[in-house]
Amino acid sequence: MRRSTGTSIIWKRNRPVNILSVFRNLHLILAALFGLFAAAVGLSGSALVFREEIEHAVYEPIITVGTTMVPFATLSTTAAALDSARRVSMMVLPIAADRSVEFVLQKRNARTLKGADQMSVYVDPYTGQVIGSRRREASVIAMLRDLHFAFFSGTSGLVFNGYVAGALLFMSITGLYLWLVVSPRSERFSLRFGGNWKRVVWNLHRQSGALSLAALALVATTGAHYAFREPSQRLMLAATGSAPPRGIPIVAPPLAGSAPRDLDAIVGAARAAFSDGTLAVVRVPSKSTQAWAATFHRDGDGGESTDSGPTVYVNPFTLDVMRVDDARIMPFGARLEKSMETLHYGKFGGVASRLFWVVLGVLPLLFMVSGALMWWQRAGRRLARGTGRRKFGD
């Protein structure tokens, strides 16, 4: 049997298959097919890492601090009166004393988030007056989210985004192999910016890919989870033996025709059930038979968002706590799924990890540009040697 010089060769039907060429071509094909989409997802993701802070800074009015706050129930009624075609679906509590309370209104009986056409209404908690409003879907942040998750194409775009995430993961794996095989051992972790620009591009592409491999794989894996949520949940359940509870707890009025307690009573019950944090969001269910959800930011965990923080489900009729979803006390599989957003946006290490995630989102564009330059350089060398047409696998 023949032996290769530096690259392993497999013999199949008397024809050699160069493993290096196979991985290189797979890497190149995936980059050509999905590179532009991965770059768009990465750049939009960089902007969304600090989505909540951007929305607070840009859209949320600053108010004069008063001495007494108006009850939440009164504030909610005031906000709802702004548009009778919509219902209050969420209350976002202020992050500071000089900030307003945000009520999210959405169209009744909406089947999708776009169909809900959500509107944010900002109410002064000290005077009870509406001081601003905006359509959430018309904001730049909403457009970036739509691009990031679904390429403006709804469910089909979300599924395609899952394939983009899978391609990014496979490009990372093939890139790791190429880095290990092609890069000299003495240069694997050295970034050299001197000399020929082609060498600089080569170094930048390979070294930055190797150094960001684990983070890129994490982002791609969690991104694929959003696109293929049900298969992902079944896989985690099979692998870990645990999964978070599904759906919103069902409740029933104690007596026919009973009305739910007011918003302030529900807020009080949620706070009493979870004292180890600050209440951030209260979600109003679309059905009277569902529990209300109160999500907290745990003290000291600044990376938690309004979606991934501990959530208390409260019976609006009896104020009983139906369930508490807290990643810290869940089994591993359930905790992993509850933490998907935290992992996807790098919110597990405070500001430092989130800043790194911003840089991480720019890398797919860097890889696409540098990879194109590297391919063009190789193609130019072949033409210069007079090979003309390039053969697949060379």
More confident residue, 254 or 119: 119
Whose CA is closest to 170, among 6, 43, 41, 38?
38
Owning domain of residue 95: 59-145
| Residue 321, domain member (yes or no) | yes
* Tens-digit pLDDT profile for residues 43-70: 999 999 999 889 888 898 999 999 999 9
| Residue 54, domain member (yes or no) | no
| Residue 282, domain member (yes or no) | yes
pLDDT of residue 267: 97
Q: Choose the final residue of a domain: 145, 164, 198.
A: 145
Counting the structural domains of the chain, the total is 2
How many beta carbons lie within 10 A of that of residue 328, not counting itself? 10
* Tens-digit pLDDT profile for residues 180-237: 887 777 666 666 666 677 778 888 888 888 889 999 999 999 999 999 999 998 888 8
If you average pLDDT over residues 15-30, what whole number do you get? 80
Q: Choose the final residue of a domain: 108, 128, 145.
A: 145
| Residue 180, domain member (yes or no) | no
* Tens-digit pLDDT profile for residues 102-129: 999 999 988 787 888 999 999 999 999 9
If you average pLDDT over residues 280-302, what whole number do you get? 87
| Residue 154, domain member (yes or no) | no
With a cut of 60, say whether residue 291 has pLDDT above it: yes
With a cut of 80, say whether residue 294 has pLDDT above it: yes
pLDDT of residue 1: 43
Cα separation, 124 vs 98, in Å, equals 9
| Residue 336, domain member (yes or no) | no
Compute the mean pLDDT over every residue in the chain, rounded to the nearest whole number: 86
Q: How many CA atoms lie within 13 A of 358 on its CB side?
A: 11
Whose CA is closest to 305, among 294, 317, 296?
296
Global pTM?
A: 0.82
Q: Choose the final residue of a domain: 123, 145, 167.
A: 145
Cα separation, 142 vs 103, in Å, equals 17
Least confidently predicted of 14-23, 71-80, 152-161, 380-389: 380-389
> CA torsion, points 72, 76, 78, 84, in degrees to nearest 10?
-170
Q: How far does Cα 152 stand from its chain's mean position?
A: 16
pLDDT of residue 4: 45
Cα separation, 302 vs 351, in Å, equals 9
CA torsion through residues 43, 48, 50, 53, sign: positive
| Residue 15, domain member (yes or no) | no
| Residue 369, domain member (yes or no) | no
